[in-house]
Amino acid sequence: MPTDVENWKSEVYGNEIRDHLFEFAEQGFDSIPDDERDAWFERFKWWGLYHQRNGQEGYFMMRIGTPNGVLEPGQLRTVGEIADEYARGPGTNPIFGDAYADFTTRQSIQLHWIELSDVPAIFEKLEENGLSTQQACGDSWRNIVGNPVAGKDAQEVIDAWPVIRELNETFKGNDDHSNLPRKWKVSVTGSADGSGQGDINDLAFEPAYKEVDGEEVVGFNVRVGGGLSRNEPRLARDIDVWVSPERVSDVAGGLSALFRDNGDREDRYNARIKFLVDEWGAEKVRDTLQEEYVDFELHTAGRDVREEYTYNTGAGERNDLVGIHDQKDGTNFVGLNVLVGRMGAEDVLELADVADEYGSGEVRLSQRQNVIVTDVPDDELDNLLDEPILEHYSPSPSPFMRGSVACTGTEYCSLSIVETKNRQVRYARWLKENVELPEDLDQFHIHLSGCTASCAQPQIADVSLRGMKTRKDGDPVEALDVGLGGGLGENPQFARWVTQRVPVDEVPGAIANLVESFADERDEGESFRAFVARHDEDELDAFVDPEETDYEDPMMHNTKRTWYPYAENDSMEDAPSPPADD
Amino acid sequence: MTTRLRVLDDGAWISVNDAREVRVSELWRLDAPDLCECTLTDLVVENFQTVGVDGSTVEARVYGQCIACGETGITDWVPIGRVRGGEFTELDRGAVRRVRREA
């Protein structure tokens, strides 16, 4: 039997939601019929609006999909202005203030405390500036990810940016692909560094060479069925297909249609294509694609460049895109660390000015929640580096700052079990002050995800932290499971969960002890990931060794029972009413 | 009177009559010998799987972990509240909940 969500989608979904959304916005939040709220909140996601968790009724998270993380000149300023004007609510974050933008692990942007009545004005401003929330959430093509510096990167094998643009234009607002069984996450990468992180996407295009008509040409190998969520992580499976850039749209559309027609619409937990690939196997996916969804002969896979991958691998160069890097046009891109991806609205506006002054005004967002200023000439580099804003958003940060990734957490998210962003900031600051990594390491990735949905991609970090609960001195407290040794690369590896339910105030001590054991016992030049790989789980559990330190955690209690974790009067009884319509 | 019961947002919460009533991240004490060997399971609720009714009692099947022994799994039907006169009342969070096996 189809789920309620499928029934709602069959009634109204896709582009047509917008008219209803605007009508509700005009008539006020209370005009949504009481017995239709679940249905409309589910549908609003397709237009990038997610009702915030309970205690925050009537406020929405708004996600802006920026394909490949590309913000053209002027667009960052638009985001900053919208955040400043509209992303203000009744709660003040003690670290980030009243208005901010979140850069996500899928190269998108999230704003919070959005009121329904403001949505038409926000959409108008976004669209005037070439931005959109369309399909940023919901069951369809999500924001397409890749190497954010596609088209500029000196290490590029093939420029994936035209391909990504074509896919975005073809499959955004496309009625044939607007109602899929579940979300559909696509990665297209043209660089040899693996920074598109294709392995953890539903559909991945990765650079590969193929001999066609006696000539070696560059295109993409295709993988299907990756993803991290729900304790069921999968790496995308090789379906033995190579495709030319001109045919990517045909193959992507074929696979999207295959998923549309064959995904499980009766059980949302089983709906993602990773489960269909489990059931069918890669060969059947390929055969079905060939026989039913494309009208040309598919090539077999080409020669990939996976052995060159470095991004998020835990070893070698360019584990992220922070720092100064060469562009192929002779200018530079400068990756800036944005701790946990959150930037105050004033800083967003200032960075837009800086990007304008020293580069082309364009910025790009990476999957490590960082921002990249592009097109900076050599003779402007020193001036850019002297800008005060780069003291905070540094191109050469501490390994613990640059390695931090965190999801939204209980501040706004219904599914999260623990507070995340502020906690990860506090962890990173404490680790920076108190822990010494071996001198030859400038990278150490710690990803904190509030639950098994894995929005912070915890399974592909050196240290993976995942929200849990435990009791401490008999009282329930927020806790984290600790996993070690995850990473991507030629041979990707998910973290092994070695220590369970560490009270959150003992996690910094646990990481300090772990790093100390690593420093003492590693082989010369050994990476952390390699060190983890040669130890068994009992040994690793012993290295973790949770311990109280002078780190203090003000969010030990059940932050989900608050209307806002940092409010002075935080109980649900003190929750604000839905915003008045004005 | 019909009561609308739903699990929404990837199992994050249970909706009763289009209102968000019960959410993940709570700790529940369960009498659930099929889930783990603890006298009482100390379950952190990570995901709601399904929701239903038994008379006036609203029940859910839940994915979670016993934080005393570390066992994980999906429970049988756990009471989460009652509906009377169309109004939902959540079960006291400190209550010991007896799991009902599927008939």
Instruction: State the ipTM, two decimals.
Output: 0.95
- Residue A196: its pLDDT value, please? 97
Instruction: List the domain range (segments joined by +) for residue B32.
Output: 5-98
- Backbone phi and psi for residue B74, each to the nearest 5 degrees, phi listed first: -105, 130
% of residues, chain A, pLDDT over 90: 97
Determine contact: A97 vs chain B, CB below 8 A: no
> Could you give the number of structural domains in chain A?
4
What CATH number corresponds to the domain at position A384?
3.30.70.3340
Q: Is the pLDDT of residue A210 over 80?
A: yes
Alpha helices in A410-484 (DSSP H): 421-434
Domain C-terminal end among A254, A284, A308 = A308
User: Which residues constitute the domain of residue A242?
Assistant: 156-308
In tens, the pLDDT along A309-326 reads: 999 998 878 899 999 999
Which of A511, A504, A526, A502 lies closest to A463 in space, CA to CA?
A511
Per-residue pLDDT at A279 exceeds 90: yes
Q: A476 touching B, CB under 8 A? A: yes
- Does B61 reside within a domain? yes
Asked if residue B103 belongs to a domain, the reply is no
Residue identified by tokens 């509209």 is A86
Does residue A134 lie in a domain region?
no
pLDDT higher for A566 or B3? A566
In this predicted structure, the answer to whether residue B102 has a pLDDT above a threshold of 80 is no
B18 and A36 within 8 Å at the Cβ level: the answer is yes
Residue finishing a domain among A278, A308, A338: A308
At residue B103, the pLDDT reads: 56
Q: Which residues of B touch A228 (CB under 8 A)?
A: none
Average pLDDT over residues A159-188: 98
Structure tokens at A196: 């598109």
Q: Are residues A375 and A299 in the same domain?
A: no
User: Which of B11, B23, B67 comes nearest A560 by C-beta?
Assistant: B23
3-class DSSP state for residue A19?
Answer: helix
- For residue A83, the domain's CATH number is 3.90.480.20
Instruction: Give the other-Cβ count within 10 Å of A228's Cβ.
Output: 26
Q: Which helix (H) or strand (E) holds A323?
A: strand A323-326
- pLDDT score at A582: 57
Q: Does A262 touch chain B (CB under 8 A)?
A: no
DSSP A518-546: HHHHPPTT--HHHHHHTS-HHHHHHHH--
Residue among B24, B32, B14 at smallest CA distance from B71: B32
**Total count of domains within chain B:** 1
pLDDT at A416: 96
Cβ-defined contact of A452 to B23 (cutoff 8 Å): no
Name the band, by pLDDT with cuts 50, 70 and 90, for residue A581.
Answer: low
CA–CA separation, A426 vs A8, rounded Å?
A: 42
Do A258 and A330 belong to one domain? Answer: no
Closest by CA to A3, choosing from A212, A268, A378, is: A268
Which pLDDT does position B100 carry in this prediction? 84
- Residue B89: inside a domain: yes
Percent of chain B with pLDDT over 70: 98
Contacts of B65 in chain A (CB under 8 A): 468
Chain B window 13-72: which residues touch A at a Cβ cutoff of 8 Å? 13, 15, 17-20, 23-27, 42, 44, 46-47, 49, 65, 67, 70
**Rounded Cα gap, residues A72 and B9, in angstroms:** 33
Statement to judge: residues A396 and A409 lie in one domain: no
Tell me, what's the pLDDT at B93? 86
B6 with A269: Cβ contact below 8 A: no
Do A16 and A36 lie in one domain? The reply is yes
On whether both A123 and A20 belong to a single domain, the answer is yes
Task: Kindly state the average pLDDT of the residues A363-379.
Answer: 98
Residue B31's DSSP bridge partners are B98
**Gap between the Cα atoms of A441 and A456, Å rounded:** 22
The SS3 call for residue A556 is coil
Structure tokens at A307: 């052995």
Is the same domain home to A88 and A115?
yes
Q: Do B6 and A417 touch (CB under 8 A)?
A: no
Contacts of B42 in chain A (CB under 8 A): 471
